[in-house]
Amino acid sequence: MRLDGKVAIITGAGAGIGRASALRFASEGATVFAADINEAGVAETASLAASIHAHTVDVTNGDSVREMVSAAVERFGRLDIVYSNAGIMRDGSVIDLSEDDWDAMFNVNAKGAFLCGKYAIPAMRDSGGGSFIITASANSFYAESDIAGYCATKGAAMQLTRAMAIDHGDEGIRVNCICPGWIDTDMAAPYLSENPEGRTFAGKIAPAGRIGTPEDVAEVALFLASDDSSFVTGSAYNVDGGWTSGMTKAIALI
């Protein structure tokens, strides 16, 4: 049991990567405070394991995030792991993207991680340290067309990871980010289904020959949450089946 006795908060736990991570953490002994703005979704996640507990949160609101952390610590007495996973995507170049969509993405994808750190790191410090994980993206490293705002937020998430690792390493807190490529989630579904060959094409780009699953990402999150990664901090882990390495292959396939 790699997380036996640990208490973890996972945001965006109502579906996809967050749900898979909640289940994986629970299977390794963690008590999981699964949080999401989607009350029904996170309740469903909690129904899947006795050690997962549902909480509704708006990661863009400081009071809501502070209350989430306080509720977890009050109920379970400590906080060892935070996986700031909540995220959204909106299409558009800088010309096409609305200000509201730009702000929404930065509020969830970047400010959400900032607020989780702001209120959770003191609690983790009081518990003797721990692991803080952020979901960034393959788009933290390279850009694609028509998702300018999303790329910007994920670049910010990776740099926030590095800055937090520097600031809080001497407090026993490790900070890392996971950078998924094409993962079979609700967020990716519209893009994978734009044409009948969308899913096949995305799989061909990756040297692994397929798109990823939420469980693929959850395994890396477990590694980063556990003491197996005790000498890992300030790092960004691609979980993309080699997709970022295979972009020249993608060009050849177009």
Partner residues linked to 62 by β-bridges: none
Per DSSP, the three-state class of 231 is coil
Q: In b/e form, how buried is each residue of 151-161, taking b as 16+ CB within 10 angstroms? A: bbbbbbbbebb
- Integer Cα distance of 129 and 246 in angstroms: 37
Catalytic residues: 150
Contact 158, 109 (CB under 8 A): no
Contact 206, 195 (CB under 8 A): no
Please provide the DSSP assignment of 45-67 as one string: HHTT-TTEEEEE--TT-HHHHHH
Neighbours of 253 (CB within 10 A): 10
Q: Give the phi and the psi of residue 117 in degrees, each rounded to 5.
A: -65, -45
- Integer Cα distance of 217 and 240 in angstroms: 9
